[in-house]
Amino acid sequence: MFNRTNTQEEIPPDVREQFDKLAAKPLMLSKETPLMPKLTLPRRWRAIRRAIKKIAYLKPGTVIEFIDVGMNGRRPWYFVRVKGTVVTGWINSLLFEGV
């Protein structure tokens, strides 16, 4: 199970609206999707390398549930859970544009 790390930044209304649409039902992934253990990467190089090794890659056909949304800079990221498991992590919102 990955650690959840959220920022304290306020979520813009349009981002919250898009999240609410996605959170309404589980979504089946159509391509391999990176699942980050944390919303932000550490600053030190060794810690970054360790964090990169913890990235999971979800296979096409994996079903995810949207739990929360957080901001990393100006880009929203979605905190998700793999349906039927305890596996959680962050996925960049760029992967869901047009969904």
The pLDDT value given to residue 41: 73
CATH of the domain at 31: 2.30.30
How many whole angstroms separate alpha carbon 40 and alpha carbon 47?
12
Question: Domains in the chain: how many in total?
Answer: 1
Q: Is the pLDDT of residue 88 over 90?
A: yes
- The residue range of the domain holding 44 is 13-96
Q: Where are the alpha helices (DSSP H) in 1-99?
A: 13-23, 45-53
> pTM to 2 decimals?
0.82
The reply to whether 4 falls in a domain is no
Contacts of 12 (CB under 8 A, 6+ apart): none
pLDDT tens per residue across span 29-71: 999 999 998 887 777 888 778 888 889 999 999 999 999 999 9
The pLDDT value given to residue 35: 95
The pLDDT value given to residue 56: 92
**Nearest in space to 33 (alpha carbons), one of 76, 94, 98, 99:** 94
